[in-house]
Homo-oligomer: A and B are copies of this chain.
């Protein structure tokens, strides 16, 4: 498939797709005789992963590391363990933060339905843990 079809299928801008290739997140696809990029199902699977992970605040650099866990199956257990563990801690923190933020937004909406907006404590929800 050509870049336009891939971009559409993954709701990504064409320029962003090319950008990922330049950065080494998407392997360079085959080219047609007229030099058009010709993507396969591996690209189609990989791109949504990148998009979602980006949306979750992972940098392209962090993503490259995670994708290498997938690409180089022959890596040492220590390497896999180290990389995965580091990201696991980061992910847990993010889930925690999102969960507390979620509760406060939920409470806000609930208070609203009872006609009493009350004090908004959004800021406190993400206050630093001591």
Contacts and interface: CB of A to CB of B under 8 A. Distances in A.
Contacts of A102: 88, 91-92, 95
A66 to B, nearest CB: 6
B80 A49 contact: no
Interface residues of A, number: 50
Contacts of A125: 49
A90 to B, nearest CB: 9
10 contacts: A45-B124, A45-B127, A48-B128, A49-B126, A55-B94, A77-B113, A88-B102, A88-B105, A95-B102, A98-B98
Given A56-B97, A98-B98, 13 more contacts: A45-B124, A48-B128, A49-B123, A57-B57, A66-B122, A67-B122, A69-B122, A75-B117, A77-B115, A88-B105, A88-B106, A88-B109, A95-B95
Interface of A: 10, 45-46, 48-49, 52-53, 55-57, 66-67, 69-70, 73, 75, 77, 80-81, 84-85, 87-88, 91-92, 94-95, 97-99, 101-102, 105-106, 108-109, 112-113, 115, 117, 119-128
